[in-house]
């Protein structure tokens, strides 16, 4: 899978950071998806070719009726339970930005009552409570990093920082939803719920407003490292295994970073991102993370290598494995094979070009297994260690006698 996304309430979607290649795109029920430009037969689907730096617009099509009909699993068009939808505004005072993850956790809003607790992301613009019910709710912000703290919480203009607000059955309305899925390359994607129609509550809930106080941190022994992370939902970032803070605008920062060569990693199942940066005695800003393969230990604190020949503030290009494939007997280039680069649970496959060459994605430093598979030949494999520079390799195969 190259990417997944959600449609908005108008059915619009955007897929970003898709690697160059040829793809199918589809949406709808997992068992009856509709492929672009509007077929449920994969052989009739249009293949989209993505080239480096390109943008493809207007991938518009209508789902087949079967793709959003009711399924035994409950996916499809259905009437949802009554909900009370509460508008939410969160603002940060004193010049701070809204944090969304910190210390390796998502920052969240918790609405609690005797009926239960409901958790929502801090950047939510509205929260929905299932019902109908009559209950008094308290509101709490969980996971705020220093130097943030809750200044005030109001509901309908009333201060409930240390109190509660009521919901009654009159605050609940019923809406219909359409559960659909965006999918690439014919693999499992993500179900999302999109409103189809709704009815208004007799007494709509009031708005919830939360003010966070931000105090500029005092200068620490280390330096501040900051940058941006793109196209990751609920991103978490680590520098040499130590968690940082990600903000609602998808910028990130680390405080009190010691000198040395650091790996910054953005944690995500499908689109992990990383950068290598050299830290000295000055703040480092504007780091952009690049898509890469992930390693499962990026949240474990690591020993920090020295800067080596690099100047402080240098952002080192992530290394790649670059190779050629040849016939062991003739020395001629192999052009019809497939190279697999993997470590732990992460793997990518690369085609060979007309000269038998391939280049991997940018990679985390570490150990990788590289395998060349060619029909009619013995598989060729080797283990490759990379640090901060590209590694050149040659894979040779012999006929399978």
All domains of the chain in start order, with CATH: 21-77+176-197 (no CATH), 81-174+204-214 (2.60.40), 223-316 (2.60.40.10), 321-397 (2.60.40.1120)
Please report, for residues 85, 129, 134, 171, 256, the alpha-carbon distance to residue 166 in angstroms, rounded to integers and kept in the order given.
13, 12, 7, 10, 43
Residues of the chain with pLDDT under 70: 1-2, 9-10, 30-31, 65-66, 68-80, 175-199, 217, 219-220, 231-234, 268-271, 294-296, 345
**pLDDT tens digit string along 317-351?**
889 999 999 998 888 999 888 999 988 767 788 88
Looking at residue 31, what is its pLDDT? 64
Looking at residue 6, what is its pLDDT? 73
Looking at residue 164, what is its pLDDT? 97
Answer yes or no: are the C-beta atoms of 210 and 91 closer than 8 Å: yes
**pLDDT tens digit string along 283-325?**
999 999 887 876 667 888 889 999 989 999 999 988 999 999 9
Looking at residue 296, what is its pLDDT? 62
Looking at residue 66, what is its pLDDT? 66
Looking at residue 55, what is its pLDDT? 81
Looking at residue 186, what is its pLDDT? 38
* 356 Rama class: left (phi>0) / alpha (psi -120 to 50) / beta: left
Strand, helix or coil for residue 171 = helix
Burial class (CB in 10 A: 0-12, 13-18, 19+), 94: exposed
Q: What is the CA radius of gyration of the chain?
A: 25
Q: Rounded to 10 degrees, what is the CA torsion of 90, 96, 101, 107?
A: -40
Token look-up 């950047």 returns 123
């Amino acid at each position: 899978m190259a990417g997944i996304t959600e449609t908005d309430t108008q059915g619009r979607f955007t897929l970003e950071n898709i690697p160059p290649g040829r793809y199918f795109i589809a949406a709808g029920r997992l068992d009856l998806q509709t492929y672009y430009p509007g077929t449920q037969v994969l052989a009739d689907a249009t293949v989209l070719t993505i080239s480096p730096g390109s943008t493809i617009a207007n991938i518009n099509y209508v789902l087949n009726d079967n793709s959003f009909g009711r399924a035994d699993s409950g996916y499809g068009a259905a009437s949802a339970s009554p909900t009370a939808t509460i508008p939410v505004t969160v603002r940060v005072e004193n010049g701070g930005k809204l944090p969304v993850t910190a210390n390796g956790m998502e920052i969240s809003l918790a609405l609690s009552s005797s009926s239960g607790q409901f958790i929502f992301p801090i950047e939510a613009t509205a929260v929905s409570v299932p019902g109908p019910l009559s209950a008094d709710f308290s509101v709490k912000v969980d996971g705020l990093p220093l130097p943030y703290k809750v200044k005030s919480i109001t509901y309908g203009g009333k201060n409930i920082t240390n109190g509660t607000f009521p919901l009654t059955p009159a605050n609940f309305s019923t809406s219909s939803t359409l559960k659909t899925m965006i999918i690439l390359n014919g693999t499992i994607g993500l179900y999302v719920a999109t409103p189809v129609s709704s009815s208004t509550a007799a007494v709509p809930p009031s708005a919830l407003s939360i003010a966070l106080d931000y105090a500029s941190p005092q200068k620490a022994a280390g330096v501040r490292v900051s940058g941006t992370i793109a196209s990751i939902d609920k991103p978490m970032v680590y520098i040499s295994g130590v968690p940082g803070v990600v903000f609602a605008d998808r910028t990130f920062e680390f405080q009190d970073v010691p000198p040395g060569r650091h790996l910054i990693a953005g944690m995500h199942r499908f689109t992990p991102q990383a950068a290598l940066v050299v830290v000295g005695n000055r703040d480092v800003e504007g780091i952009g993370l690049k898509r890469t393969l992930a390693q499962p230990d990026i949240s474990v604190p690591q020993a920090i290598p020295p800067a080596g020949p690099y100047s402080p503030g240098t952002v080192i290009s992530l290394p790649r494995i670059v190779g050629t494939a040849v016939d062991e007997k003739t020395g001629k280039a192999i052009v019809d094979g497939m190279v697999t680069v993997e470590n732990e649970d992460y793997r990518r496959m690369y085609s060979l070009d007309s000269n038998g060459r391939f280049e991997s994605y940018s990679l985390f430093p570490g150990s990788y297994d590289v395998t060349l598979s060619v029909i009619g030949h013995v598989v060729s494999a080797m283990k490759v260690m990379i640090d901060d520079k590209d590694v050149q390799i040659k894979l040779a195969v012999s006929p399978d006698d």
